[in-house]
A = this chain, B = another copy of it.
Amino acid sequence: MSQSASIPTNSAPFSALPSIHTLLLEAKAKKGLTFDAIGKAIGKDEVWVASAFYGQAKFNAEDLQKLSEVLDLPHAELTAGLGEHWFPYRGLGSAVPTDPVVYRLYEGIMVYGHPIKALINEKFGDGIMSMIDCYVKVDKKPDPKGDRVVLTFDGKFLPYAKW
């Protein structure tokens, strides 16, 4: 018997998302699928899929076709809400996150951000690490002292133009 969904996208910080995203998250919960399983079904990585489910990435027509199949959702509804004319309005939640999981990531930037900048400058010169041409991974690394989360950002270095 299917369990109904429990994704309160109508409450903060998800209330800023179009309602179509609730549909996706509820369908995932009902099907009992992981992001990894959905990712495999549509040929994408689980982090990218999760990003798209939270309105932070854009499915193309082929993605939506496969998605409607794996989630048993009407293709027309997905296309109406997330089709060709829709583009993500990225960025979710308040400027300083309050949820402890997201805050820890933010704290990582507050504490290690300038050291990381110093190393990027030292190794690559004057420029940035792209967050556009960037892949993100979340891995589980078993450890007898307690499993570890390995979070990887793999972004292209972009040198500053001079003119």
Contact = CB atoms under 8 A, between A and B. Distances in A.
Interface residues on A, range: 35 or more
Give the most central of A47, A99, A146: most B CB within 10 Å. A99
A161 B141 contact: no
B109 A102 contact: yes
A120 B101 contact: yes
B87 A91 contact: no
Contact of A136 (B83, B112, B133): B112
Copies in the complex: 10
Query: Per DSSP, are chain A's interface residues mostly helix, strand or loop, or mixed?
Result: mixed
Contact of A123 (B98, B138, B159): B138
Interface string A110-133: 111111111111111011111111
Interface in A43-73: 44-48, 50-51, 53-54, 56-58
A131 B161 CA distance: 9
B151 A150 contact: no
A19 to B, nearest CB: 8
